Amino acid sequence: MAPDIATAAANINDAQAKASKRAFVTFLAGNGDYVKGVVGLVKGLRKVKTIYPLVVAVLPDVPQEHRNILTSQGCIVREIQPVYPPENQTQFAMAYYVINYSKLRIWAPTSFAEQDYLNMYFKDKYKPIPNIYNLVLAMLWRHPENVELEKVKVVHYCAAGSKPWRYTGVEENMEREDIKMLVKKWWDIYEDESLDYKEPVNANRLTSALLEAPGINFVPAPSAA
């Protein structure tokens, strides 16, 4: 039976329309090596075949070279302006936490609907997700009885020395075999060239190409009316 080209094209358009309204969002500041973490994230999202893009909210100090890397990997880069806390509340704060105030700007791109900042408003109506979707590494040695490592989907590499692109194994707990395994998994995704960004299929171009191919007949989809 000849392929239903019209239906295939419609399905592609439908998926692209859905993806245009929702997104994953992350934050990047400075000219350090955290850009590698974002690349690992977007490639990991492609590995699980998400249809939603990754929006990277960047501060003005993120260099153009890093922005180009993110764009080449299919990220949507959006510059945001810093948010500074009151000076009388920062004298004892680490610079990292001061920068975190700027994450409030993440909810500025209103073209993407989901705004988890509203969790405060819905505090009595939310449902917490299990740690398999946000495994904090310290759980491995503080509460191992609550971790089913083989089921974990999302890892938060937040323990000292655990960032895969900086990993040396010398910090406390970093010599553990489970940590080494999780770091290796990150590198496997980061270095997997098959997960590099490729131009999305354009439905109109796909239809034209299929119509021009020998031995393929156009079969119109039935009307939904």
Whether 161 and 167 have beta carbons less than 8 Å apart is answered as yes
Helix (H/G/I), strand (E/B), else coil: 191: coil
Whether 182 and 153 have beta carbons less than 8 Å apart is answered as no
Q: Residue 46 corresponds to which tokens in the numbers above?
A: 């492609």
H-run or E-run covering 200: none
Q: Residue 70 corresponds to which tokens in the numbers above?
A: 């993110």
Closest CA to 67 of 31, 105, 23: 31
Which is the catalytic residue, given 36, 43, 103, 151?
A: 103
Is 47 among the residues known to form the active site?
no
Q: CA-CA distance, 219 to 225, in Å (whole number)?
A: 18
Cβ density class 176-203: b for 16+ within 10 Å, e for less: eeebeebbeebeebbeeeebeeeeeeeb
**Residues designated catalytic:** 103
